[in-house]
Structure 1
């Protein structure tokens, strides 16, 4: 069975299950066959088919007519089909779109080897381009509605290990294919792949394909593919033999059959251990049963006796100890001791799930503070009056339990005024919950990126926030018992207390770092686009300088009140870094400062912060300062600062061809990426 997931945009209705998959727009702009709009559509169909067929990458956009009857269109064939097949597919799509969505002014159709959209609105306009990820609605349909059983061998919904292993195989294949399409396929932005997942008969080879609209930048393509690949989860694909993720600007597919032409462009060796179906149950004979009973019964009696003795001895050992020791004992019996919490603060508590339910009023919407990358956060109040923030880990989170364990292990051992304080946790069956101190002003991004609330942050407050974040990072990198790299420092992970003091939060991505090593390498890249250091995003290399880079980005955002790289255009650049550096070179750095700030009284301080930020985001990690250097530079008015070199990503400029589509995807900038593979 093959699962098809179509990303619905612009309020479209769900597609039908069978091929092709159509998305019909609303009925507001309908037309008749005798209308001028229909004539424009007919003319455009011929032009579009010819343009896409003759184009080297089989891609075309065009429009016909004048307002209000203008029709805009986009067509793209799959990267492995020839011109003849492309022409036939787009011609069929032009007819099929009108048949499947009769008299609709907005229609999209997905065929196996091409896609087509026409609309009475200019959907290539920046305001509409953002909708490839903003406000998408998902629907799932199957090509075989009579068969609902999973198709991949070894998939067992009741076996968490089997589910995790197979899901990771599919995710690994899709993400590596997506990376190849985005960065290693040139202007085509198309890649195919193969993975021999099991290495034997127990698991079939998997084939994959990823493609973006060639008008996208490589980075936009990567972001689009990463966003839709997150939908390849247990709930959506559930071990089925094939799946498609269809969006107008990018799409992914995998299957157990070789569905594309030619050899795979990339062959992937899975890092996941082989998945082997459970061995059949062997029913012993009656004679064999009697023999087993003679052996097993005495053995069980001995084991039970040992267990009883152990429990009695253990009770005597702990008798008379206080409630704090009982809490620690319960943690050991619950298996939490393996997390290394025996050295935790005495204030750390283990809460029962019923206590959390009562404190949050059963996780009511009224108590919901926000939505994190791995689950919602609620406000809670316990019987003793303690107000807390409750982070409830989403059960469908692929890396959920690992990050829950990571966060508890790390934060319980970290103590600093600029780090959020973890008060306790709750682990009961599927529920994994973290209990934090409650910070009433929520997160920094709610202030600096909001036109009304940013005026509440004067320069003195912003400078204090920058310095506080620097002190928190310095503690993590140098002064804590553990040398920690956060790996996901961003505005939404900076919380603010009553006095607007910053506290670094969300340590689910953090890594303990050896004091003997300058850097480390990982295949699983985590973090957020816009804040990632280039060596980490492209090669998986991370160090304390990775956090320094993120700090520099965050500082520029605090000074400017603008998001770093929300796919908006800043001058000649699509990110804040290149724009800021260009203004700095031209001695026009005041133009980057938030207009709501009173600059005159603080010119030198603001200039120093911009200088420090640009030093932190330099392309070469060796050129960036340490957080020790940063703290000194921020606090010293007399210190002469070095001139920054060009920042990372400064060469990514807006070209004339894509100016109309590179902005508006700000949601991606704040999406934590947790499963991207490095080279």
Structure 2
């Protein structure tokens, strides 16, 4: 414990200092360059494996206090990957790791199927390539970011250039740190601040040349602004009217602003020393308490507490669990959600409450907070950390990070402004916003997301709880599958798995799963088929028993199909927007997905192909599966209502068309 305290203390002190800065914020995406590979191409499996290992290593290594490192995976081979991260000189420890981990988790999305990529954030840069770029000066491409305020002093552009030149000399000649920062008095009491930074694999001469090239660009792009930033793969310069950096080296020569204040420092040295000692004692006491609490809470993910066997197995198989997902400090989350206020609360699930938050850079987030009394929620939390951190697809909700501090266990997601499909599809007013084009787009997006889970992701995953409320909608109403708390991995070649604990949502469960605990990719296909038919008719399967039809949605759809009246299933709201051939095709696919025998159901790859084709002849569906559900109007998930759900609560009927 003492050794852990000694290791963690410098990182924690740096992080606490950052929190006190008014300008502290989350990593803000600046730009990327992926054109070094001019066209998208299929990368070899070995290269993809080496790339994943490289990004994982960079993310893990960034947790150290160095702020910079590089690595080679597959050294000496044609599939070797060269990787580098470099945090800004004033950013270290957890702040650096958060930035690098975010970059490592997003760069493959921003540079898909590229053998080389560079991504910039306001606090770090991350690069990878199939060629050795270490120590090579690279000034193109370059990016310029401008502030909103215009300069009012005609002499400011020249003064700004002169000061940035002085920082260049400090970084490359006076200190050899390859970065420098400071401030100066402009006029009328105004102050300006600057920073120069080079990638720390460069020589002093290359660094000086790079910074010089960035300064030359200022006159063309940025001189009329009070704030700007110019950056390239090898260096960056930043200038603004507020102190945006952290003073990291109190022994370095003071900036002009600090030098003016120096005359009064000696007279206050004794007072400052005494106060500093008292503050240090108080802070150390707090840190000791904080680290002890964090040590206890971290046992949840380290396996020290009693956890399900499958989770321990995953820990053994997935050594990089903690390196694939950024850790977001609790204080950021508390600030962004107004300390988990009721005003910020979005809803409540079996996992616990969900809150909306806003980071200081304007990023909107959704925070899932594990309920202290939720036994199932703890298991779901572990699943989400294991699975979704490894998944990247436009139709899956993105997990930005997690937090395990004190007694809190939190998951931070991208915020979906249009909530979930459930709130639109089954609301009389909101449903009017979903015309046929929108519904077809949602169907296609869900299908592609499931296909990724089943066949294309790093892990082969069965969701096990696909339903309308677990499909979120972004600003453009694009669907994103969420909630992986019940997900399970499948080995290649594995057909099905058995569980004694049936978890899921009544109305969406495949019969073989509800009755025998057997689940497979075809269980998800069944749930997709139910959801597809719900999207078409605008009614819940679980509430269909109480409608005027007196039977399940699946049976009703099957009877209409057999009678040649399938269009009667269509939501009346869609009368003026639907295309009959597309609706018929979707109903046909939905019935194929909900067939009784799992072997008869198509795979999601076949479903995606069928949805995309207008000429493909589809096989005739067989009668749908048993209607599995309880006679309730609102869909009810066993994961939300019971810690030990039983299949005995499921009612079963087998109704065939006449």
- TM-score, with length taken from structure 2: 0.51
Deviations 1:382-438 (A, max 9, x none): 122211011112111121222101101111100000000000111124321110001
Find the partner of 2:509 among 525, 528, 532: 532
3-state DSSP of counterpart to 1:435: strand
2 CA distance for matches of 1:397 and 1:505? Answer: 19
CA distance in 2, matches of 1:549, 1:622: 11
SS, match of residue 368 in structure 2: strand
Higher helix share: 2
| 1:539–1:441 distance in 2 versus 1, CA, 3 Å | same
Q: Which residue in 1 is equivalent to 2:395? A: 418
Contact 1:569 1:575 in 2 (8 A): no
- Return the alpha-carbon distance in structure 2 between the equivalents of residues 344 and 404 of structure 1: 13
Structure 1 residue 367: Cα displacement: 1.6
Aligned length: 366
More divergent stretch after superposition (632-641 vs 427-436): 427-436
Counterpart check, 1:624 vs 2:601: yes
* Change in CA separation of 1:579 and 1:532 when aligned onto 2, cut-off 3 Å: same
SS of corresponding position for 1:584:
helix
Residues 436-461 of structure 1 show CA distances to partners (whole Å, capped at 9, x for unaligned) of 00110010011110111111011011
User: Residue 613 of structure 1 corresponds to which residue in structure 2?
Assistant: 590
2:546 counterpart SS class: coil
How big is each residue's C-alpha offset from its partner over 1:548-606, in whole Å with a ceiling of 9 and x where there is no partner? Answer: 00000000110000001126334554321111111111111111110000367500000
In structure 2, distance between residues paired with 1:598 and 1:615: 24
**1:469 pairs with 446, 449, 470, which one?**
446
The Cα shift of 1:320 comes to 2.6
Structure 1 gaps of 5+ residues are 1-302, 653-661
Instruction: Give the 3-state SS of the residue equivalent to 2:390 in structure 1.
Output: coil
Match of 2:617 in 1: 640
Structure 1 residues 430 and 310 mapped into 2: Cα distance closer, same or farther (>3 Å)? closer
State the 1:349 CA deviation: 2.6
Indicate yes or no: 2:139 matched with 1:393: no
> For each residue in 1:176-199, what CA deviation from the matched residue of structure 2 results, as whole angstroms up to 9, or x when unmatched?
xxxxxxxxxxxxxxxxxxxxxxxx
Aligned pairs (5 A) from 1:263-662: 318=64, 320-322=66-68, 323=92, 327=97, 334=298, 336=301, 343=320, 348-566=325-543, 568-570=545-547, 573-598=550-575, 602-649=579-626
Note the C-alpha offset of 1:363.
Answer: 1.6
Helix, strand or coil for the counterpart of 1:568? helix
Q: Structure 1, residues 621-679: CA drift from partner, whole Å, max 9, x if none?
A: 01100000100111100011111111112599xxxxxxxxx965325379746632569
Would the aligned equivalents of 1:581 and 1:646 in 2 still touch at CA under 8 Å?
A: yes
- Contiguous gaps of at least 5 residues in structure 2: 13-60, 69-91, 102-290, 304-314, 649-658
Q: Give me the whole-angstrom Cα distance separating, in 1, the residues matched to 2:537 and 2:6.
A: 67
Q: How does 1:85-104 map to 2 (within 5 A)?
A: none
Contact 1:553 1:617 in 2 (8 A): yes
- Assess, with a 3 A threshold, how the Cα gap between structure 1 residues 455 and 669 changes in structure 2: closer, same or farther: farther
Q: 1:476–1:482: 8 Å Cα contact kept in structure 2? A: yes
Contact 2:366–2:412 (CA under 8 A) maintained in structure 1? yes
Partner SS state of residue 579, structure 1:
helix
Q: Distance in 2 between matches of 1:337 and 1:463?
A: 44
Find the residue that maps to 2:572 and give its secondary structure: coil
For 2:633, the equivalent position in structure 1 comes to 665
1:194-213 correspondence runs (5 A): none
Instruction: Tell me the distance in 2 between the aligned counterparts of 1:309 and 1:495.
Output: 43
The answer to whether the 8 A contact 2:504-2:638 is kept is: no
1:251-296 CA-partner distances (Å, limit 9, x unpaired): xxxxxxxxxxxxxxxxxxxxxxxxxxxxxxxxxxxxxxxxxxxxxx
Q: How big is each residue's C-alpha offset from its partner over 1:180-224, in whole Å with a ceiling of 9 and x where there is no partner?
A: xxxxxxxxxxxxxxxxxxxxxxxxxxxxxxxxxxxxxxxxxxxxx
- Mapped partners of 1:420, 1:593: distance in 2: 29
Could you tell me which residue of structure 2 aligns to residue 127 of structure 1?
none
Cα 1:671/1:583, change in 2 over 3 Å: farther
Task: Within 5 Å, give how 1:69-108 maps onto structure 2.
Answer: none
Q: Residues 341 and 378 of structure 1: is their aligned pair in 2 closer, same or farther, counting only changes over 3 Å?
A: farther
Q: Mark the CA change 1:571 to 1:640 in structure 2 (over 3 Å): closer, same or farther.
A: farther
Shift of 1:512: 1.0
CA distance in 2: counterparts of 1:409 and 1:450, whole angstroms? 34
SS at match of 1:412: helix
Residue by residue, what CA displacement relative to the aligned partner does 1:362-391 show, whole Å, maximum 9, x if unpaired? Answer: 222222212223212111011222110111
Structure 1 pair 309/496, CA: closer, same or farther in 2 (3 Å)? closer
Between the aligned partners of 1:584 and 1:666, the Cα distance in structure 2 is: 26
Q: Aligned Cα RMSD in Å?
A: 3.5
